[in-house]
Structure 1
Amino acid sequence: MENHQRRLVISLFAYAVYKDVSAIELARLAGIDLDELKNNEEIVFTSKQINDLWLNAAHLTKDELFGLHFGESLQLSALGTIGEIIKNSTTIGEALTIAANLTHLITNLFKLEIIHSKDTFTLQFVPLIAIQKDVPFSFKQTLDLFMVFSIRELDGLLFEKIKPLSVNFPYEIINTMEYERVMRCAPSQKSGAFSLTFDNKCWNMQILMANYDLQKSLLEKVASLENQVPVLEHTFQSRIYNYLLTNSYLGIVSIEEIAANFNISSRGLQRRLKEVGITYQQLADEARKSLAIHYLRSANYQVKEISYMLGYNEVSAFSKAFKRWTGTSPVDYQRSAFVQ
């Protein structure tokens, strides 16, 4: 049986490395044997190891909202077989019900309950540990991760950005603007509540399975690039570029969003890229070009679909950009690629 907690811990390490943290240093501080993590499917983590992992990941990345940003970046595929089960649902309601029933395989800090009313449904994250005045750091981080990931999961299932009606915590949220940016809803303080509430119209919405073919294609594209390393290996621009690719199934991410996820200002991000002689717009265009060529060569998508997936409102704008990149139109490129 798959060790789902191990898979999540590996994803956490990967995200920390993505943010320029040494996996060796993080493992040492958390008291986790990296070789055992990589090779032992049966590895079990203590509460102290998990807490130290969160504490040091936040410390080394200088990001007190590490869990929030990790959730923003996490892909459903990171949940392994749980992700596959969720993807095989037919409606949002079915997917969330399955997710609620499987939460215990990933964390023992809380359980997920779904509460229905006439017009809404609420995802209630119920603590399985005693919550005193000072909420444990690892609990806060894990909760942020799962709350954000739940919203992102709906995005991927429906191929559109879903906005909660309310986001509730039993304590005051300090960085409200960043929570509102990531969760698309200003957080509210409500006694005893860790919850996300959505409009009931989402419950019976059909899952678009084609989205997962697209996301799988994206992840394969990123993996192939990471295997070609020498030019961009471990550079800041390569991390930005790969982030753009991995998260582009809802359009290319804005510079403000990606800067916030990397815990720097948009000016700081632009300055760091300028130091290596490249702009954010150049990276975004390169990501669009790479994805456009990838999609056209696959012959699975029409030009109109590709244009939409890359964030262009008009096919003509995409065609103009593609011709600037390659010297030929998307239609002609796809036709020649298919002939070859």
Structure 2
Amino acid sequence: MEEYRKQFVLNMLAYAVQRYLAPDQLCRMSGLDFKLLKGRSGPAITPMQLNDLWRNAVHLSHDAAFGLHFGESLQLSALGAVGQIIQSSRTVGEALTLAAQSIHLITDLFSMNVTRANKIISIRFIPNESASVANPDAFRQMMELFMVFTIHELDGLIFEKTAPAKVRFPLNDSVDVKEYERVLRCKPRHSQDEWGMEFKDVFWDEAIITANHELQRLLLEMTHSSSVASQKEPPLSERIVNYLTANAYLGIASLEEIAANFNTSARTLQRKLQEEGVSFQQLADSVRKTIALQYLSAGNHPLKEVSYILGYNELSAFTRAFKRWTGTTPFDYQKNKQ
């Protein structure tokens, strides 16, 4: 269990690097030894250290929704055994049920309950009262992280944008409600003591598309997003390309989504990119081309799935873009690579 939690913390630090927070500084401020944390051995991470890690990440990033944004970009691999269970599930309903049963491998702060009744899937996050009171920063950030991760990972399981019918939880006054609404794809309702969401059960019996997990692995290899070794700040354009690439298995993020994850406004982000002589659209297109070439070279995956991942609603639009990039169609390119 400790191994899975350490892996989760390392992935949290990898996300912090994407936000350009120095992982060694973040660890030092939280009473953790960064070098020992990266090694196989080393002391267990205490609840207090984890709470301090979350609090300091929020402080250094100036982002009260740090956990929310981390959840928006979280990959299944970051969850260790829980991620493996989800990937090996046959249907979405089975994946949700097994994830709820194994969430204790990641955190003791709360448990997860999944039920299906009257054509509604209800997901409840049940606080561990003593742990949540003792570690309020970790509890808040972890809870928001898992709520948004549940929504966004459903996209990756079925290749469709999913949105809850209802979301209820104690809203954080430090976070703009509109940002909650953007990330959760639903206007949240304030509840003093409830953490939960509801979905229509239309996708409960749908088979999981395993090809997406292979794509996720390829993208992580391309960007080395699990690495927390970098200490030097790269140009903003490079950081955005790395972020877009690492998270492209859930679709190419929009300018507004990137701006939120970099804790700035879309206008400011565009201005800073202009200073580097590039536009966000150019970066997004370069990532689309890279992902298309990588995925089509990796195996005989359906072109429609690749098209969807890259943000094209119609296969014909993807075909036109690919031909503009390479001079050939994606079908011919994939055929020649076999």
Task: Give the aligned partner of residue 184 of structure 2.
Answer: 183
The letter for the 1-side match of 2:289 is K
**Which residue of structure 1 aligns with residue 146 of structure 2?**
146
What displacement does 1:249 show? 2.3
Cα distance change, pair 37–318 in 1 and its aligned pair in 2 (3 A): same
Give how far 1:2 is off. Answer: 6.3
The answer on whether the counterparts of 1:3 and 1:42 sit within 8 Å (CA) in structure 2 is no
Aligned position for 1:254: 254
Q: Is the contact between residue 100 and residue 111 of structure 2 (CA under 8 Å) also seen in structure 1?
A: yes
AA aligned to 2:22 is S
- Indicate the residue corresponding to 1:236 in structure 2: 236
Which residue number in structure 2 is paired with residue 211 of structure 1? 212
Q: Indicate conservation of the 8 Å contact 1:32/1:49, yes or no.
A: yes
1:250 touches 1:311 (CA, 8 Å); kept in 2?
no
Deviates more, 1:261-270 or 1:292-301: 292-301
Residues 1:9 and 2:9 are matched in the alignment: yes
SS in 2 for 1:125: strand
SS of equivalent to 1:295:
helix
CA distance in 2: counterparts of 1:261 and 1:111, whole angstroms: 27
SS of the aligned residue for 1:286 comes to helix
2:75 is matched with: 75
In structure 1, what is the Cα distance between the partners aligned to 2:212 and 2:311? 15
Task: Tell me the alpha carbon deviations over residues 179-232 of structure 1, each in whole angstroms, 9 at most, x when there is no partner.
Answer: 1100111111224211111112232222122222222232233339x9xx9xx9
| Partners of 2:126 and 2:195 within 8 A in 1 | yes
User: Structure 2 vs 1, CA of residues 303 and 152 (structure 1 numbering), >3 Å: closer, same or farther?
Assistant: closer
Per-residue deviation, 1:164: 0.7
Question: More deviation in 269-278 or 201-210?
Answer: 201-210
- Please list, as runs of the form range in 1=range in 2, the aligned pairs for 1:48-59 lying within 5 A after superposition: 48-59=48-59
Offset of residue 316 of structure 1: 3.5
Question: Do structure 1's residue 93 and structure 2's residue 85 form an aligned pair?
Answer: no
Letter matched to residue 278 of structure 1: V
Shift, 1:42, TM fit: 5.6
Greater alpha carbon shift after TM alignment, 246-255 vs 305-314? 305-314
State the Cα RMSD in Å.
2.6
Deviation at 1:313, TM superposition (A): 2.9
Letter in 2 for 1:63: D
Mapped to 2, the partners of 1:303 and 1:92 lie a distance apart of 23
Query: Partner of 1:249: helix, strand, or coil?
Result: helix
Matched residue type, 1:240: I
**Count of residues in Structure 1 that have an aligned counterpart in Structure 2:** 334
Contact 1:113 1:123 in 2 (8 A): yes
Give, in angstroms, the shift of residue 267 of structure 1.
Answer: 0.9
| SS of residue paired to 2:278 | coil
Q: For 2:281, give the aligned amino acid.
A: Q
Offset of 1:34 from its aligned partner?
A: 0.6
TM-score in terms of structure 1 length: 0.89
Q: Cα 1:322–1:7, aligned 2, differ >3 Å: closer, same or farther? A: same
* Deviations 1:135-162 (CA, angstroms, capped at 9, x unpaired): 9222111101111111122111112111
Mapped to 1, the partners of 2:132 and 2:142 lie a distance apart of 17
Q: Which residue of 1 aligns with 2:37?
A: 37
Question: Secondary structure of 1:121's match?
Answer: strand
C-alpha distance 154-291 of structure 1, shift in aligned 2 (>3 A): same
The residue correspondences of 1:283-294 to structure 2 (distance < 5 A) are 283-294=283-294
Runs of at least 5 residues in structure 1 that lack an aligned partner in the other structure: none
1:211 maps to amino acid: N
Find the residue that maps to 1:124 and give its secondary structure.
strand
Tell me by how many angstroms 1:337 deviates.
4.0
Q: Indicate the residue corresponding to 1:301 in structure 2.
A: 301
Q: CA deviation at 1:172?
A: 6.1
SS at match of 1:3: helix
Q: What is the SS of the residue equivalent to 2:224?
A: helix
Distance in 1, matches of 2:41 and 2:185, equals: 37
Q: Which has the higher contact order (CA 8 A, sep 6+)?
A: 2
AA at the equivalent of 1:34: F
Per-residue CA distance 1:284-340 (angstroms, 9 max, x = gap): 1110111121123224235454333322233343333223323444344444444xx
Q: Does 1:323 align with 2:315?
A: no
Q: Percent identity?
A: 49
